[in-house]
Amino acid sequence: MAARLSRLRYSAAEWGPAMTARGVFLSFEGGEGSGKSTQISILAKTLERAGLEVVLAREPGGTSLGEAVRALLLDPATGDVDSRAELLLYEASRAQLTRELIQPALATGAVVLCDRYYDSSTAYQGYGRGLPISEIEALNSSATSGLKPDMTLLLDGDHQRGMNRATTESTDRLEAAGDEFHKRVRHGFLKIAQADSLRVKVIDAEGTPEQVAKRVLASIRTIPVLALVLAEADL
Ligand SMILES: Nc1ncnc2c1ncn2[C@@H]1O[C@H](COP(=O)(O)OP(=O)(O)OP(=O)(O)O)[C@@H](O)[C@H]1O
Ligand SMILES: [Mg+2]
């Protein structure tokens, strides 16, 4: 594993002019039930089979502070949360996750798979709740110290189907927010992808998990260092 990791660092520096000599940072975005967790789990297994070190992160959460924020935000008993208070709680969780988990993992050359990152604030609190996008982008930038994923996989599909999937598990506070809200969020994610098409890849989330995983892998292969390592492992 150590040899594989030092080779990844070497390859990253050599192959990707746009990449620095560090690990690879991938975020997954999309509505509730769009398949983010399912796809992260499939991709993590594939990357680990290729010998890469994979670190999983999720938002809100991923740290003690973040998990406490997550429990607070998702608990229906929390009741009405002011939109700005909600935004700042997500940003606090993000700041902690970025410094405590993501940056150190990238420094060791790992592949970090993050279940939601700052695009979710733009989509949910901005396009969904109606807070000014510029205000959210400023807070996103502060919470992340300007760190951006090398690639963001946006799992896009019919939100009603996603909601039906999601509600078979549990109905949390955000999932209860209503149809119109979720339509605005989906539209918001697509606007973000349009504005930053080099980073954000729109993945059709319809079909079986295996079909979607193939689409995810095809996008991932456009990152030279991952293409190389996957090809060497015959994956
Ligand atoms: N392509 C698929 N086809 C059918 N069912 C799926 C597919 N992908 C995931 N599922 C199922 O749908 C449900 C939601 O998927 P998953 O938890 O991966 O979504 P998510 O985007 O992580 O949701 P959340 O936002 O609630 O965390 C799960 O029960 C999962 O097994
Ligand atoms: Mg999930």
Which ligand 1 atom sits closest to the C-alpha of 175? 26
Please list the residues that pair with 113 across neighbouring strands. 26, 56
Name the closest-CA residue to atom 3, ligand 1.
208
What is the pLDDT averaged over residues 197-217? 98
Are the CB atoms for 229 and 50 separated by under 8 Å?
Answer: yes
Name the closest-CA residue to atom 25, ligand 1.
32
Which ligand 1 atom sits closest to the C-alpha of 169? 29
pTM reported for the whole predicted model:
0.89
State the burial class of residue 31 (Cβ atoms within 10 Å of its Cβ: 0-12, 13-18, 19+): buried
Name the closest-CA residue to atom 29, ligand 1.
165
Cα distance between residue 151 and residue 98, in whole Å: 16
Q: 95: CA distance to ligand 1 center in Å? A: 27
> How many structural domains are present in the chain?
1
Q: At what angle do helices 64-74 and 83-97 cross, to 10 degrees?
A: 160
Residue 161 has pLDDT above 90, yes or no: no
Q: 86: CA distance to ligand 2 center in Å? A: 19
Give the residue numbers spanning the domain of 50.
Answer: 2-232
Average pLDDT, rounded, for the chain: 89
For residue 148, what is the domain's CATH number? 3.40.50.300
Confidence of residue 164 (pLDDT cuts 50, 70, 90): confident
